[in-house]
Each structure stands twice: as structure tokens, then as C-alpha cells.
A and B are shown apart, each in its own frame.
Chain A
Amino acid sequence: DTGVSQNPRHKITKRGQNVTFRCDPISEHNRLYWYRQTLGQGPEFLTYFQNEAQLEKSRLLSDRFSAERPKGSFSTLEIQRTEQGDSAMYLCASSLLAAETQYFGPGTRLLVL
């Protein structure tokens, strides 16, 4: 068990470009969550998966955002046509069950210039 991993750790992009982040959860965990954290603030929920099914999306997740979890393993979060307001830390977490402890990855820090 190597914990939750996220790649890349840092991403700098120009406004209007597309970016994709990857999250590898703890292997036996069914639940996978994406959160966004801006500087000095607490994380905000974006979306979650149970196995391969995406069951809830926050209103924060505009139509430029899409997330997938093929085969219930790793997950990707894509942001199309990035905007400066998308600059944030994107955190992934996984858990075995809904009420179980969520284990967080190190995050991907996105800077949109």
C-alpha cells in the first residue's frame, strides 16, 4: 500500500489550454473524491466516484471540467479552456466505504497564466 498518488505534482499552463490530472487511489478503495483547494482555504468538494460510477458533481464543476474513473481504478480530471480562476490545488482522496477515513494524495498544484 503506497497511499494515494497524484500526477503531475505541479502544472503551469497558459489560459485557454487543456490540462489533465491523474489520481491513483489506494488499491482496494471503492470511493474516490476530487476536491479543490485555493490558497489559505479549506478544500471544496468537486465530485466523487463509487467504483467507475460518478455519483455526484458539485456546482463548482462547470462544463469545462470532466472526470473519469475507467474500470474503477485510477481517475483523471480534465479542465478544458483553462481560466486564471482555475488556479488552485486539486486534491484526490480515496476511502473504502463512504463513512470511512478518506486518505488524501499530495495534490496537483495548477497555475494558469
Chain B
Amino acid sequence: AQTVTQSQPEMSVQEAETVTLSCTYDTSENNYYLFWYKQPPSRQMILVIRQEAYKQQNATENRFSVNFQKAAKSFSLKISDSQLGDTAMYFCAFMKEGGSSNTGKLIFGQGTTLQVKP
């Protein structure tokens, strides 16, 4: 069974600074996807960034980038130039890649609450 662990329940960062959220996972699969989702207070969850395990290059989306270390089973999220709107709970998630039998089921970590301070 796959598990996802986020060891930082809460973090804070000053506006315009950089912050890194940690995520580790456990799986025996070789092919999978990893995601970071953002859940702002009282708002719906949205995708921040995704990474395919077969890709060596780390994914980036504007101010968001990941450090994917497949051998270490680590998938951290770096937020550069933090903005007040980045305040949210962030979830790391795992999806097994099963070809035609892929269920698409997401396995989430416990989440990290990020507070961006002015």
C-alpha cells in the first residue's frame, strides 16, 4: 500500500520570501504521478503542480517548483516570492500509474498549513 507523509503540520513565511514544503511517500511502484494541491480557507482544492515519475526534470509552474528525488521518495514544493494569496493548506498526493487499469485514486498526505505574513 502507498502512503504519503507530510511532516510539517504548520509553516509560516514572510511575504516575498521563499518557503519549501516537504513530502515523502512510500511505494513499490515504479510508475506513478505526484501532485501538490492547495486548499485555501473555505475554498475548494485546486491543483498547484504535478510530476510524472518517469520524468527526471523537476516540474515548475510560475512561482511553484518541485524537487523530485525518486530514489529518496521525496517530493518537496518550493514557493518563491510568497504572496498573501498563497495562504492555504497544501496537500501532497500520490497516484499509481496503472495503464488501462489506472483507477486515478489519489492518496493524500495529512497536509501542511502555510501562513504567509505581510
User: Is B43 an interface residue when CB atoms closer than 8 A count as contact?
Assistant: yes
User: Is A74 an interface residue when CB atoms closer than 8 A count as contact?
Assistant: no
Instruction: Fill in one digit per residue for B24-49: 1 if any A CB lies within 8 Å of its CB, else 0.
Output: 00000000010001000001111100
A-B pairs with beta carbons under 8 A, tally: 59
User: Is B16 an interface residue when CB atoms closer than 8 A count as contact?
Assistant: no
B interface residues, tally (CB under 8 Å): 24
Say whether B44 contacts A107, CB under 8 Å.
Answer: yes
A interface residues, tally (CB under 8 Å): 27
- 15 further A-B contacts with Cβ under 8 Å, apart from A35-B106, A42-B110, A45-B107, are A40-B110, A40-B111, A41-B110, A45-B105, A93-B106, A95-B104, A97-B104, A98-B98, A99-B95, A99-B102, A99-B104, A102-B47, A102-B104, A104-B44, A104-B46
- Show 8 A/B contacts (Cβ-Cβ < 8 Å), sorted by A: A31-B104, A40-B111, A42-B91, A43-B106, A44-B108, A101-B47, A103-B47, A106-B43
